[in-house]
Amino acid sequence: MAANVLYRWTRDLHLYLGLFLSPFVLMFAVSTMLLNHGWKPNAVTVRRGVFKNLVVPADFERLQGADRIRAARQILVQLGVSGEIDFIRVLPKENRILIPVIKPGEEATVTLNLQTRDATVDVDEKGFGEALVYLHKWPGPHNVNVRGNWGYMRPWRWLADATVYLILFVSASGVYLWLFLPAERRLGIGLTAAGCLSCVGMVYALVHG
């Protein structure tokens, strides 16, 4: 009786969580194809603006970590720019600071002149394909102390993790459900063995080749 209840629960969760995951899996699949084939966007500059007499936080160029991000946000608010701050590059010899600000499919480059307190903003439209690629790569290992500084990207971090965990569950529950189908066991064992051998062989060849 308990085994039947567990089977029904696992079957329903496998079905409905699989349906819920399908858009995320499709997005990661398409973006992987774009990355794998070296797809590059045709960026188009959609607008450029010049802003003067900005209020720049004191010693902005000397700030580090979260303090620098908060100071940069104060400047971005004055410019009407929102998005994920990719990094902040200080160019002391030129007395300038570069701040790329990214939204999926769009990138704004803010160039701040510390001496004149002026800034130029260039906004590039990169399209839907680049948006998928960006979401695929984010969150990533680069600049982890900066990542997640835009509120809209934090839920995406949780969704990316949840997608991985749920895929693991769907995979494990699929194996469990398959065990209850005696007619399919032989074929399933053969395909699983073939997949394992292919995976191990490819990894071995790449590591020791």
pLDDT tens figures, 152-189: 888 888 888 888 888 888 888 888 887 777 777 777 77
- What gap in Å lies between CA 160 and CA 165, rounded to an integer? 9
- What gap in Å lies between CA 209 and CA 203, rounded to an integer? 10
Pairing assessment for the beta strands 84-85 and 96-103 based on DSSP bridges: antiparallel
Question: What's the domain count of the chain?
Answer: 2
Percentage of the chain beyond pLDDT 90 is 21
- Say if residue 27 is in the same domain as residue 81: no
- Say if residue 21 is in the same domain as residue 70: no
CA atoms within 13 A on the CB side of 111: 10
Q: Which of 125, 142, 166 is the last residue of a domain?
A: 125
132 belongs to a structural domain = no
177 belongs to a structural domain = yes
200 belongs to a structural domain = yes
- Say if residue 48 is in the same domain as residue 33: no
State the chain's mean pLDDT as an integer: 84
Q: Which of 107, 125, 143 is the last residue of a domain?
A: 125
- What gap in Å lies between CA 160 and CA 155, rounded to an integer? 9
134 belongs to a structural domain = no
- Say if residue 25 is in the same domain as residue 48: no
179 belongs to a structural domain = yes
- Say if residue 6 is in the same domain as residue 72: no
pLDDT for 185 equals 73
Q: Which of 78, 107, 125 is the last residue of a domain?
A: 125
- Say if residue 50 is in the same domain as residue 84: yes
- What gap in Å lies between CA 44 and CA 106, rounded to an integer? 10
Q: 86 lies in which domain range?
A: 44-125
63 belongs to a structural domain = yes
pLDDT higher than threshold 70 for residue 142: no
57 belongs to a structural domain = yes
User: 89-137, pLDDT tens digit by residue?
Assistant: 999 889 999 999 998 888 999 999 998 999 999 998 888 888 888 888 8
User: 29-86, pLDDT tens digit by residue?
Assistant: 888 888 887 777 676 767 788 999 999 988 888 888 888 899 999 999 999 999 999 8
